[in-house]
Structure 1
Amino acid sequence: MCIWCAGPWSGAKETQTFFHKLIGYQPPRGWEYQVPNAPLMLPTAPPSAIHRKPGRHG
């Protein structure tokens, strides 16, 4: 299980603005439409289900 947040708490606006300045690109736009703060829980598969050894199935 991964726990994240959406909205201003995520820091995405600041991160994108920083990288735009870093590479000399125009300021990002559209942040006034950002979703509100919200917690997110994302189910994930255990590593054993993702990293199988070759030749082993099931």
Structure 2
Amino acid sequence: MELRWNPAVTVVRCLQSIYMMMEDPNADDPLDPDIARLYKFNRDAFNKTAREWVLKYAI
């Protein structure tokens, strides 16, 4: 989902867009190609790394 900023974009709309990106990530247009490759081709390793990062940085 691509969100272009303009004054009519509300906080709710921004949060909805973030939620949608997290719910259904687009691995074909990644910020980090290595992570996208892992997501697409080795989901178990991706999930393991994601869990480790959550424990390290989010808790």
TM-score by length of 1: 0.26
Q: Larger % of helix: which?
A: 2
* TM superposition score normalised by structure 2: 0.26
Q: From the CA coordinates, give the structure whose radius of gyration is larger.
A: 1
Larger RCO of the pair (alpha carbons < 8 Å, separation 6+): 1
**If each structure's strand is expressed as a fraction of its own residues, which one has the higher value?**
1
